[in-house]
Amino acid sequence: MRDRIRKLIAERKVVAVDVDTLTDTSDLYEAGLSSFASIQFMLALEDEFDIEFPERMLTRKTFVSIESIDRSIAELIGEQV
Protein backbone atom coordinates (compact mmCIF):
# COMPACT_ATOMS: atom_id res chain seq x y z
CA MET A 1 0.00 0.00 0.00
CA ARG A 2 2.86 2.37 0.80
CA ASP A 3 4.23 1.84 -2.70
CA ARG A 4 0.87 2.82 -4.20
CA ILE A 5 0.84 5.95 -2.01
CA ARG A 6 4.38 6.78 -3.13
CA LYS A 7 3.42 6.27 -6.75
CA LEU A 8 0.50 8.70 -6.37
CA ILE A 9 2.73 11.28 -4.70
CA ALA A 10 5.12 11.08 -7.64
CA GLU A 11 2.44 11.04 -10.36
CA ARG A 12 0.43 13.91 -8.94
CA LYS A 13 3.53 15.95 -8.05
CA VAL A 14 2.13 16.32 -4.55
CA VAL A 15 5.38 17.53 -2.98
CA ALA A 16 8.21 19.72 -4.18
CA VAL A 17 10.93 17.07 -3.77
CA ASP A 18 11.70 13.68 -5.35
CA VAL A 19 9.51 11.06 -3.64
CA ASP A 20 12.53 8.75 -3.31
CA THR A 21 14.14 11.21 -0.90
CA LEU A 22 11.18 10.78 1.48
CA THR A 23 11.13 8.19 4.23
CA ASP A 24 7.80 6.76 5.38
CA THR A 25 7.85 9.16 8.31
CA SER A 26 9.06 12.30 6.48
CA ASP A 27 6.85 15.33 7.08
CA LEU A 28 5.05 15.89 3.77
CA TYR A 29 4.18 19.48 4.68
CA GLU A 30 7.87 20.19 5.20
CA ALA A 31 8.45 18.61 1.80
CA GLY A 32 6.20 21.27 0.27
CA LEU A 33 2.70 19.76 0.48
CA SER A 34 0.43 22.82 0.15
CA SER A 35 -3.17 23.00 1.33
CA PHE A 36 -4.44 22.98 -2.27
CA ALA A 37 -2.25 20.02 -3.25
CA SER A 38 -3.26 18.15 -0.11
CA ILE A 39 -6.94 18.22 -1.12
CA GLN A 40 -6.16 17.06 -4.64
CA PHE A 41 -4.03 14.32 -3.10
CA MET A 42 -6.87 13.23 -0.80
CA LEU A 43 -9.23 12.97 -3.79
CA ALA A 44 -6.63 10.90 -5.62
CA LEU A 45 -6.25 8.61 -2.58
CA GLU A 46 -10.03 8.20 -2.30
CA ASP A 47 -10.15 7.24 -5.96
CA GLU A 48 -7.16 4.90 -5.83
CA PHE A 49 -8.28 2.98 -2.73
CA ASP A 50 -12.04 3.33 -3.27
CA ILE A 51 -12.56 4.94 0.11
CA GLU A 52 -14.02 8.13 1.53
CA PHE A 53 -12.18 9.92 4.29
CA PRO A 54 -14.63 10.67 7.10
CA GLU A 55 -14.65 14.16 8.63
CA ARG A 56 -12.66 13.02 11.68
CA MET A 57 -9.73 12.08 9.44
CA LEU A 58 -9.66 15.35 7.54
CA THR A 59 -6.91 16.84 9.68
CA ARG A 60 -3.33 17.73 9.11
CA LYS A 61 -2.18 14.79 11.22
CA THR A 62 -3.73 12.21 8.89
CA PHE A 63 -1.77 13.40 5.87
CA VAL A 64 1.48 14.36 7.53
CA SER A 65 3.47 11.30 6.36
CA ILE A 66 3.25 8.22 4.15
CA GLU A 67 3.03 6.13 7.33
CA SER A 68 0.08 8.11 8.75
CA ILE A 69 -1.79 7.95 5.43
CA ASP A 70 -1.15 4.20 5.24
CA ARG A 71 -2.50 3.75 8.78
CA SER A 72 -5.66 5.74 8.06
CA ILE A 73 -6.38 3.93 4.79
CA ALA A 74 -5.80 0.56 6.46
CA GLU A 75 -8.30 1.52 9.13
CA LEU A 76 -10.89 2.52 6.52
CA ILE A 77 -10.40 -0.61 4.44
CA GLY A 78 -10.59 -2.67 7.63
CA GLU A 79 -13.95 -1.07 8.44
CA GLN A 80 -15.31 -2.04 5.05
CA VAL A 81 -14.71 -5.80 5.43
Partner 1 sequence: MPVASPTIEILRAPAERMRGVAEIAARHSGEVDREGRFPQEAVDALKAERLLGVMVPKRFGGEGLSLIETAELCTILGQACGSTAMIYAMHQIKASSLVSHGGSSPWHADFMRELVEQQHLLASATTEGGIGGDLRNSICAVNVADGRFTLEKDATVISYGLYADAILVTCRRSPDAQSSDQSMVVVKRGDYTLDKTTGWDTLGMRGTCSEGFRLVSAGDAAQIFPQPFSEIAAQSMLSASHILWGAVWFGIAADAVARAQAYVRAAARKQPGSLPPGALRLAEVVAMLQDMKASVIAGVVRYEAAMSRPDELSSMGFAAEMNNLKVTTSQRAAQIVTHAMLITGLSGYKNDTPFSVGRHLRDVTSAAIMISNDRILSNTSNLLLVSRFDTSLVN
Indicate the residue type of 53: F
**57 vs 79: CA distance, rounded Å:** 14
**22 vs 42: CA distance, rounded Å:** 18
Binding flag, residue 30, partner 1 (CB under 8 A): yes
Binding flag, residue 53, partner 1 (CB under 8 A): yes
Binding flag, residue 66, partner 1 (CB under 8 A): no
- Judged by CB, which is closer to partner 1: 1, or 44? 44
Indicate the residue type of 81: V
Out of 24, 60, 71, 74, the residue judged to bind partner 1 by CB under 8 A: 60
Out of 18, 21, 23, 36, the residue judged to bind partner 1 by CB under 8 A: 36
CB count, 10 Å around CB of 24? 13
